[in-house]
């Protein structure tokens, strides 16, 4: 097979996906038919990888080679999907919604501003039954304190044409308790830099969700 070129971000994607699956280096090596040393080297160095090795690695990580190479990261999610009447839309229970958003990640705060409806992405954590995120004092999100907002989290698996979306509605308030702020400092880490020391919580008064399933998957 031909060489796939030098992929400086490949190792980081492999390590992140391995962590998501809870796999050790040895376990991934066994799944992929590779040596642990090669996996470790790949995760820490910009290495060349053949197409055959990429496929084996993707199979072991339960993903695709394109995902590991970062293809499509600048394309809106679902842009490559085709309509399929066999897919079905299921309503999620509140407990199912809570389970889906519990790991945290990235969601969107939906709120009203002087310019109309807005939705801004944030890193969030689900702590003690409330959504928590951080923002800057001069951010538009600081203005949601004391108002009712929406918070949307969704995921899409383009390989199977499946996905889910959860919407949380409730009041937003600033967290002012010093001990709680200290506890949350590590739990809520924004991707972007800068001064984001305003901690905001959203109390879920209403949680709804939907899931799109493929016809041939339960």
Higher pLDDT, 53 or 28: 28
Residue 85 has a pLDDT of: 65
Contact by Cβ (8 Å): 206, 98: no
Residue ranges of domains in the chain, CATH in brackets: 3-69 (1.10.260.40), 88-213 (2.30.110.10)
Mean pLDDT value across residues 49-60 = 84
Contact by Cβ (8 Å): 205, 149: no
Measured distance CA(205)–CA(104) in Å, rounded:
18
Specify the 3-state DSSP secondary structure of 152.
strand
Evaluate the CA torsion angle 211, 94, 16, 182 in order and state its sign.
Answer: positive
Under DSSP, the state recorded for 176 is -
Which strand (E) or helix (H) includes residue 210? strand 206-213
Q: Give residue for tokens 């739990």.
A: 187
Contact by Cβ (8 Å): 167, 150: yes
Mean pLDDT value across residues 82-97 = 81
* Residue-wise pLDDT tens digits, 103-159: 888 899 999 887 778 899 999 999 889 999 999 888 899 999 999 999 999 887 765
Helices assigned H by DSSP within 22-164:
25-32, 36-44, 51-60, 65-69, 94-101
Residue 44 has a pLDDT of: 86
Measured distance CA(170)–CA(149) in Å, rounded:
6
Mean pLDDT value across residues 74-91 = 66
pTM, whole model, 2 decimals? Answer: 0.64
Contact by Cβ (8 Å): 147, 172: yes
CA nearest neighbour of 204 among 85, 119, 90, 124 = 124
Helices assigned H by DSSP within 22-140:
25-32, 36-44, 51-60, 65-69, 94-101
Under DSSP, the state recorded for 14 is H
């Amino acid at each position: 097979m031909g060489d796939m070129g030098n992929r400086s971000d490949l190792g980081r994607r492999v390590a992140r996906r391995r962590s998501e699956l809870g796999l050790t280096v040895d376990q991934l090596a066994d799944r992929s038919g590779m040596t642990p040393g090669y996996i470790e080297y790949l995760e820490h160095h910009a290495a060349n990888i053949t197409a055959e090795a990429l496929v084996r690695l993707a199979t072991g990580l339960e993903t695709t080679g394109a995902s590991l190479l970062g293809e499509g990261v600048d394309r809106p999610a679902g842009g490559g999907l085709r309509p399929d009447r066999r897919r079905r839309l299921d309503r999620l229970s509140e407990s199912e919604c809570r389970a889906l958003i519990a790991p945290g990640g990235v969601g969107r705060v939906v709120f009203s501003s002087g310019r109309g409806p807005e939705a801004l992405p944030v890193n969030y954590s689900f702590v003690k039954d409330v959504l928590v995120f951080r923002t800057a004092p001069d951010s538009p999100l600081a203005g949601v304190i004391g108002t009712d907002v929406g918070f949307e989290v969704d995921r899409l698996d383009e390989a199977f044409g499946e996905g889910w979306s959860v919407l949380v509605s409730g009041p937003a308030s600033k967290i002012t308790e010093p001990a709680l702020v200290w506890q949350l400092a590590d739990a809520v880490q924004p991707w972007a830099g800068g001064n984001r020391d305003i901690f905001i919580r959203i109390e879920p008064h209403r949680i709804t969700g939907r899931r799109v399933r493929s016809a041939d998957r339960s």
